[in-house]
Structure formats: C-alpha cells, structure tokens
Amino acid sequence: MAKENLEEFAYRSIIRLILKNKFKPGDFLLEIELAETLKLSRTPVRHALGRLVGEGFLEKRKKKGCLISVPTSEDAKHVFFARENLEGLTATSAAMYATEDDIIELRTILEKEKKALVTYNKEDYSTTNEDFHLGIARMSRNIYLEKYCRNIFWRSNIYIFFFDNYYTQPTSIDEQYTPDQHIQIVDAIAEHDAEKAGELMRQHIHFTYAMLFTPWNVKKKAIRSTHSL
C-alpha cells in the first residue's frame, strides 16, 4: 500500500477503533481527542476525518464533531439496495473480463474461507469475505464501480458488525450458506456467464440482507424458503 503517512495511519486507526467497538453509533469523534489517543497533531487526524466523512462513514455536525451515522432500518434498506445492484454489476463485468489468474485467485479465497469456517475463526472468515467481494469488484476492471463497491461494502459492514454482535450465535446460520453461494458465483464467472454471475450476486447480497434482519430463532424456517431462490 501507500507509504503509510501519518494521515494514512490516522485513517486506518480510526476505522480500526470503530470496528473494535471503541465508539458506539452516535458517539462524537473529536479531532483533539483522537489526536491525543493516536499521539498525533490534529492535522493528520483532521484530514483522515474529512476523508471518512467524504466516504460517507461519518457524518459531520457543525461544532460537535463527527459521528458514526446511526444505523436505521431505512438506511439499511438503501445500503443493501445499492450494494445488491452495484455488486451485481461488478459480477457481470468481472464475468466478462476475468482472466485465468483471476479465477485461481478467487478459488484460493474460497479455500481460505472454508478453512476459516471449519475452524470457527471469525476474524479470518470476515477477511476472506472482504477479499471475495472486493476482489470481484477489482476484476470488473472498472475503477469507478470498484470504488463505489468498496464504499458501500464498508458501509454495509457496519450493519453486519452491529447486528451480528447482538443476534447471532458463534457460527451464524447464514455463514453456513454463504460459501456455497460464493462458489456458485465463482463458477458463473469462470464460465464467463455474465448474466448468471450478476443475478447470483444480487441474490447473495439480498440473502445476506434478509438474514441480518431475521431474529435467530426464526432463521431456520426462513432459510428453507430461501432454497427456492
């Protein structure tokens, strides 16, 4: 990656802090406070916050600081509608342009994902999931779609993170189904079946969304009906 500036460092650190649950949604992130925590001056922190606001991770309130946009079901609907269609597009595009090496890379990711799942390694699982989705975004060979996908992926991750923590078991049921869906998507891309790849990806994201807002105790039932997708 880029030459780890202090700004870059601040940027990554702030994301890490949020993902490590150091801030609840609604908390204010203050330049001064963060600068002290990260042992930097306000300047790089300020740039990093500006970037995060620009990317839509944070909201800015006039003289109150930046805050994590409070998750609402309405916002989640928008996030996943956008993600479903954007990733559908990248999958379509990836199916058209993917090289042999790309397919190998994706299959390797799927292997790692499988391993992470059987060893109950949530951290690794989360990483491979990111590699999968953003990998396909990259393989679309369209830097604009890729950028938007990265953005909406991270935004949706905030939901997955918060809701997962509250509702799911050590291994959530959707995690048992996701790998199969991933495999089917890679197969479609390998066959260069653009339409199928796009459609499968849309269904996959839609499934993820549906599972997020389904209480655990009724998920089993819900999943049976999802088979008909």
Structure token pair of residue 155: 């935004």
Q: Kindly give, in sequence order, each residue whose CB lies less than 8 Å from that of residue 40, ignoring residues fewer than 6 positions away.
A: 6, 9, 10
Angle between helices 122-139 and 100-118 (to 10 degrees): 160
C-alpha pair distances (Å), 35 with each of 6, 22, 27, 56, 173? 11, 15, 16, 21, 40
Residue 7 interacting with DNA (CB under 7 A): yes
Place of tokens 């030459």: 3
Which of 41-49, 95-103, 134-142, 200-208 is the region at the interface with DNA (rule: CB under 7 A)? Answer: 41-49
In DSSP terms, which residues pair with 65 in a beta bridge?
A: 61
* Spatial distance between the Cα atoms of 152 and 160, rounded to a whole number of angstroms: 12
Identify whether the C-beta of residue 38 lies closer than 8 Å to the C-beta of residue 12. Answer: no
Subset of residues 55 to 74 that bind DNA, contact rule: CB under 7 A = 60, 62-66
Subset of residues 126 to 155 that bind its own copies, contact rule: CB under 8 A = 141-145, 147-148, 151-152, 155
Subset of residues 152 to 171 that bind its own copies, contact rule: CB under 8 A = 152, 155
Subset of residues 79 to 108 that bind its own copies, contact rule: CB under 8 A = 79, 81-82, 85-86, 89, 93
The amino acid at 152 = I
Nearer to its own copies, 98 or 152 (CB): 152
Subset of residues 4 to 63 that bind its own copies, contact rule: CB under 8 A = 47, 50-51, 54-56
65 binds, among DNA, its own copies, none (CB under 5 to 8 A by kind): DNA
Per CB under 7 A, residues contacting DNA are: 3, 5-7, 30-32, 40-44, 46-47, 60, 62-66
Per CB under 8 A, residues contacting its own copies are: 47, 50-51, 54-56, 78-79, 81-82, 85-86, 89, 93, 141-145, 147-148, 151-152, 155
